[in-house]
Structures are given as C-alpha cells and as structure tokens.
Amino acid sequence: MTGAQEAPAFHPATAVTEDQTAESAAPAAEPADAFTAEAEASNEPEQEPEHEKENVKIAASKTQATPAKPVASLAQQSAEQPSGRRERKQTSFFQPEKKIETEKLEIREGRGTKLGEIPNVAFHLSKVTGRDELLEDLHQILYARKGKLSTRKKDIQAFSGFTFTDDQQEAEMEKAKGLLSRFKNDHMIRLLDLLDIPRTDLKVKEARVEKVLHFLKAPSSLSDKDLAAKEADKKAAAARKRQRKDKEKDVKPKRAKKSKESKAEGGEDEEEEEKSDGAAAAEAKEEDDEEDEKPLQAMVPKKKKLPSEKTLQKEIVQTLSGVDVLEFNIKMLMKHLNEKYDVDLAEKKPFIKAVAIGYCQAKNNRAEEED
C-alpha cells in the first residue's frame, strides 16, 4: 500500500532508554520542591503572643497622648543666651528702720497718793529695776504704753490714779482689766506685793484683778507695817551679831594669854584678884542698902512725855536738810533726837525711819526731775 503512512518502527532499546530517563528525572525534581517549601516557610512572619501585642498597643497609645517637646535649634539656643559679660547683682545693705517719734508722756494728777510716796510701795520699787518685766507690764496698764527704759520706774512712782474722762472711763477700765487678766498666777502675786496689797483673802484671780483696779483708781497706803524699818532692824541686828562674834574672837586669845601670865607669876595675882573682887562686892552691897532706904514713891521712875509725830517730823526734815544723807544714818538721827528731847524714842523708831526714808526718796525724785 503506497498511499498509507508507515507506522514507526518499535525498537526495544530505545524504549528502555526513555524509561530510564524518566525514572532518573523524577527523583531529581523532589529535592527542588523541598528546598522551595523551606524557603517559603522561612519567609512567613512568626506569630507574636497575645500579651506582647497588647504591650505594643499600650506603648503606642502613650506616645500618641504625650506629644514630643519641640527641640530648639542651635541658632535659637545661641540667640536666647545673653551675649557679653555676666551682669552682677547689686549688693543690698541693712538699713535700720527709723524710730517713730511718739508723743511725750503727760502724767496728770490723780485722786490718790503717788506710788513713790507710799512707804511700802516705794520700798518694793527700790528692789526692782526698769528692765523688770513686771514694771513693763504695769507701765502698760497705767499709761497704755511700755515706756522708755530710762524713765519707766520714775513714771510709775509719779502715778497717783487713773485720770480718764467720763466717756473714756468704761472702755479704758475694760482694757486695763483685760491686760490684768492675762497675768499668770506668779506674776499677779508679784504685782500685789509690789503695790503692798494684802493677798490673804484674794484666792480667785478675778478678785485680785478687781482689787488691783480699785487700788489704781486712787492709790493709798493699805498696811501699817513699815517694811523699810523692819529691814533696817534686821540689818542692825545682824551687824550687832557680827560685832559680838568678832569681840568674842578677840577676847578668847587675851584670856588665854592672861591665864598663862597669872600661872607664871604665882599666887600673888590670885590674892590681889580676890581682894579686888571682895571690895567690888562690898561697894555693890552698900549701894543696894542705900537704894532700899529710899521711899517707894521716889523709886518709881518718872515717865517723860514723848513729842508728837508732827513735832518729830518737822525736826527730822530740818535735821536732814542740814546734813549729808549719804553719810548720815538712822543711828545718828536717833541719838540726835534722844538728846534734843531728853527721852528714849525707841518706840517711835519705825515712824522716824519712815519719815527719813520718805524725805530721801522725795529728794531723789526732785533731783531726777531737774535732770
């Protein structure tokens, strides 16, 4: 048959070769596919845990809530810095405040006695200084100011009572009462003693305040005791005691020396002493016998009349005005008065001391006012 196509010839060797080629190509494709799978697996992103995702979201929200501060450029920073030398601050110096000139204190005459003329009050005032807090507070009550240190005590001595007008009376007394009410217990007791106000029955603070206010309306002497005279007596007694002790110290060595000498001389001195003692006893007995022979009426001592206090005061002032009070003392004054009136004025001694001290204080006050 010529028109038909011829079928290809079958060669067994050729078929075997093709099958082997297919088998050898098939296993070579497997490793290529495995490599490609590993590469694709490595390129896939790893999945993060859920808590890490939440932390990232919180951090992102914080950065959005707090905007970043703008950073100034170097040019702006250099422009803000001052150019040239640093400015020096001026040194400030302490300047004391100018003292405000206050009005001069005007002390008016009150209805009572001046505190400096009341003997016991003057005595207590002599024991304190103007720096004492008690005098500062008292000056505030009396004159509505603390007063100057140099004149504070003098102002208090010149006080003779409140001088408020009718329209000021109630308000000023309430103010003084408020100041006194602030006093502590020991401070109030010192004030009562300074003004010589008895405090035996004043145990409540309100009663003490009322008593002080009543006294300051019209000051006057509230005690019959003379504290200055009492202190002078104590000092005199102490001085006499010292003198007596000094004499005893001097007498003991003399007696010891005399006894030694008498022992050395023997019994002659003893006989002479016994004779002298016997003669003295006989003379004393004769005097007693003569005294016993006098009538009883003659033996009664005559009591001389004492001068009045007014006469004594006049004589004391006259005597002190002619002597130097810095050297003249109470003992000299008593001796002068006893000799003048020829009588023992021992019972009038407290009065004489009070008058003498009052005279000296008045003299000192006049000298201060003149200065």
* pLDDT tens digits along 153-172: 999 999 999 998 888 889 99
- Are 356 and 330 in contact, with CB atoms under 8 Å apart? yes
Task: Round to whole Å and give the CA distance between 222 and 195.
Answer: 9
Task: Round to whole Å and give the CA distance between 192 and 121.
Answer: 10
The helix or strand, by DSSP H or E, that contains position 26, with its residue range, turns out to be: helix 12-43
Which pair of tokens denotes residue 301? 């001592």
pLDDT in single tens digits along all 371 residues of the chain: 444 444 444 444 444 444 444 444 444 444 445 444 454 555 554 455 555 666 656 665 555 555 555 555 555 555 555 556 777 777 877 766 655 546 788 888 999 999 999 999 999 999 998 889 999 999 999 999 988 988 999 999 999 999 988 888 899 999 999 999 999 988 999 999 999 998 777 778 888 999 999 999 999 988 888 888 888 888 888 888 888 888 777 666 655 555 555 555 555 555 555 555 566 566 665 665 555 665 665 555 666 778 888 888 988 988 888 888 888 899 999 988 888 888 888 888 999 999 999 888 888 888 777 76
The helix or strand, by DSSP H or E, that contains position 64, with its residue range, turns out to be: helix 50-65
Q: Full-prediction pTM beyond 0.85? A: no
> What letters, b where the CB count within 10 A reaches 16 and e where it falls short, cover 81-102?
eeeeeeeeeeeeeeeeeeeeee
* pLDDT tens digits along 280-296: 566 665 665 555 665 66
CA dihedral sign of residues 183, 162, 215, 313: positive
Task: Round to whole Å and give the CA distance between 353 and 359.
Answer: 10
Residue whose C-alpha is closest to residue 125's, from 175, 80, 183, 190: 190
